[in-house]
Amino acid sequence: MGNYKCCFCFTRRFTSSSAEPPADVKNTFAVYAEDGVAMSPEQLRRFLADRQGELATAADAADRIIERIREMRHRHHPMKFSRPQLSVDEFFHYLFSGELNPAIRSQVHQDMTAPLSHYFIYTSHNSYLKGNQLSSDSSDVPIIKALQRGVRVIELDMWPNSKKDDIDIVHGRTLTSPVPLIKCLRSIKEHAFTASPYPVVITLEDHLTSDLQAKVAEVALMVTQTFGDMLYYPKSESMEELPSPEALTRRIILSTKPPKEYLEAKSQKVKETGSQKRKETVEEDSWGKEVTDFTDELHYDNKDEQDQDDEDGDDDGGADDDDSKFGQSAAPEYKKLITLRAGKPKGRLVHALRGDPDKVRRLSLSEQQLEKLAASHGTEIVRFTQKNMLRIYPKGTRVTSSNYNPMLGWMHGAQMVALNMQGYGRSLWLMQGFYRANGGCGYVKKPGFLMKGEPYGEVFDPKRILPVKKILKVKVYLGDGWLKDFKGTYFDNYSPPDFYARVGIAGVPADCIMKKTKIIEDEWAPVWDEEFVFTLTVPELALLRVEVHEYDMSDKDDFGGQTCLPVLELRSGIRCLPLCDRKGTQYNSVRLLMGFSFSSESGAPYY
């Protein structure tokens, strides 16, 4: 404990002591350790099997864990150990290690041999923008950062340059600066498989005028020369089924609609975004808006659906899926390179959900279009996504690069739910957490109920309230690491912080809930020791949300860290949860010690 004099006769008191093992850890150690003093490899193995659910852990593996934790614990004071054993402090150090005792697995463990349409795919929107949608710079830097995070779908908007004689990658009709297409392609090639070996999809959005359509041949040449054998494209012009992520390992594929004369009449939408800027900014707080459970969207008044269907987004709006027009206006070589063909038919959007039994196609909807279709055609959306690809993108009024709740798209089977990766906020935290599943490879296998009919031949209905399938118990023991990662005066000038945690579930509306621990005053290493119980009707889509805040009596509470994790990826037992900053980057030291256990509702059918 240190006392530091400062002006106005205040005395700052900051404790530098680390967290102590909680009672559950001490009691557990006493049960398994020899005479309650030291834990041998065999005793550690029994603990891992009995309490952590790691049944396959062998005694020699436990021996290596003990050696590793003692090396880490005593790295500054090397010494030889006569017997490989753990003390209670070393046991606690092991449990509180994000490296040795993570809450989720870090390996790819799902079947990767199904068609692409069977997977949710980590998708970015306007991937080249460094900031807001109106005036920020376009660059390859955010593309590189997205790929390093595991994003698998990169969007590039092709627009005429200022002289109308060449093509730029830029957010058209805004003040954003352009970036050369070739620079983006080369950066994608260099960084595509840094975080994952599975395929990268490039969504090329064509906003070219008729006199620049000839440039499409140059785009085709640029793409083929840049990627070479990395580029995959189908031998035939239409596919009844898409290849699998495994078959496309370390390959690049294109997803786009036929080049066409850009519809100038659709330009009004960008002009409308300016008036929304102030409203949206006001709605954002320090952590981004609290995500909604989208119950209202599922019961949206759909009487104006015809008008909404005509809305032009930044993607397919108003485009005819007409291959004959494609052939007239673009080089056949470019057409051949497209794996995921995009576009939508004339008429109402619901007609596009009928699909084509002879070929796979990609449909794009704005978040608003999805809301309206979900209100009355939810099962048709699910049926469409069982074979075809559905992409959801943010509405044009999100000029600050804010985001929407991605869960509505996922629960309808949409594979490519695109979010703005430039900012931060709770919606983006959900996206980051969702794709921590399956080893963070950017592809998450869709649950079976979204891929096939129910026992009675019915397609999954996202609006249907289902019985409870699983019960998740979460115990929040304690937290530590803020004093290492933050300045001593960051939260409060004159005393240690007053931390509390918010713990909850994001998922289908019936499962969404947030709960809160008590506030622990004046502690850098708060001990909450509180348990929460969550009932889950669709655990396959549920995310565990964890946030830490510092209570401020006179102002907004301060941000202390967050993380989101897929519920079904959680490992039972006592686990370490490293926390992340607002943008999703993991802190060096801030972490929580938490406990997880699952039980099922006895005899409760899922459907």
Residues marked active site are found at: 125, 171
Q: Are 160 and 189 in contact (CB under 8 A)?
A: no
- Helix, strand or coil, per DSSP, at residue 228: helix
Q: State the sign of the Cα–Cα–Cα–Cα dihedral 152, 158, 162, 166.
A: positive
Give the DSSP letter string of 490-531: SS-SSS---EEEEEEEESSGGG-EEEEPPPBTT-SS-EEEEE
Question: Tell me, what amino acid is at 521?
Answer: E
Q: Which of 298, 290, 288, 365 is nearest to 509 (CA)?
A: 298
**Nearest residue to 412 (alpha-carbon basis) of 443, 387, 379:** 379
For 406, list phi and psi in degrees, rounded to 5.
-75, -15
Rounded Cα gap, residues 374 and 332, in angstroms: 37
Strand segments (E) across 192-327: 200-206, 252-256
Taken in order 466, 472, 478, 484, the sign of the CA dihedral is negative
Q: In the chain, what are the helix, strand and coil shares in percent, each to the nearest 5?
A: 30, 25, 45
Q: What is the distance between the alpha carbons of residues 233 and 472, in angstroms, rounded to a whole number?
A: 44
Q: Give the chain's largest Cα–Cα span.
A: 84
* SS3 state at 34: strand
Q: CB neighbours (10 Å) of residue 350?
A: 17
Q: Which residues contact 462 (CB under 8 A, 6 or more apart)?
A: 298, 374, 378, 382, 411, 412, 508
CB 261, CB 341: distance < 8 Å: no
Cα–Cα distance for residue pair 591/484, rounded to 1 Å:
11
Q: Is 58 exposed, middle or buried (0-12, 13-18, 19+ CB in 10 A)?
A: exposed
Torsion angle of the four alpha carbons 173, 177, 182, 186, in this order, in degrees rounded to the nearest 10: -120
Other C-beta atoms lying within 10 Å of the C-beta of residue 378 = 21
Structure letter (DSSP) for residue 289: P
Can you tell me the distance from the alpha carbon of 54 to that of 45, in angstroms, rounded to the nearest whole number? 8
> Exposure string (b/e) for 82-104, b if CB count within 10 Å is 16 or more?
eebbbebebbbbbbbbbeebebb
Q: State CA 559 to chain mean position distance.
A: 20
Q: What is the DSSP letter of 174?
A: S
Give the end-to-end CA distance of the chain in Å, rounded to a whole number: 58
